[in-house]
Amino acid sequence: IKYFKLAEEKAPYDTIVISNIAYLSKVTGDIETALEYYEKLKLYGNEEEKDFAGEQIRTLSAE
């Protein structure tokens, strides 16, 4: 996650970086951060990314 956070500093709207931080946060159990980054993905992503982020948010919020 460390290197993706550095990448985010250089490109804060890069949805690939945002998506990777969200995913890695999710799989490491940091649900709060995962939700934060999936929200960012919904904000900056294309339609497919927004749909995916919404699905992930619903899933994580239900846990």
Average pLDDT over residues 4-32: 97
**Domain coordinates in residue numbering, the chain:** 2-62
Distance, in Å, from the CA atom of 7 to the CA atom of 30, rounded to the nearest integer, reads 19
pLDDT digits (tens, 9 = 90+) for 25-58: 999 999 999 999 999 999 999 999 999 999 999 9
Helices (H) and strands (E) in the chain, counts: 4, 0
Element (H, E) at 46: none
Helix axes 31-44, 15-27, angle to 10 degrees: 160
pLDDT for residue 20: 98
Q: Are 37 and 18 within 8 A, CB to CB?
A: yes
Residue 63 has pLDDT above 90, yes or no: no
pLDDT for residue 11: 97
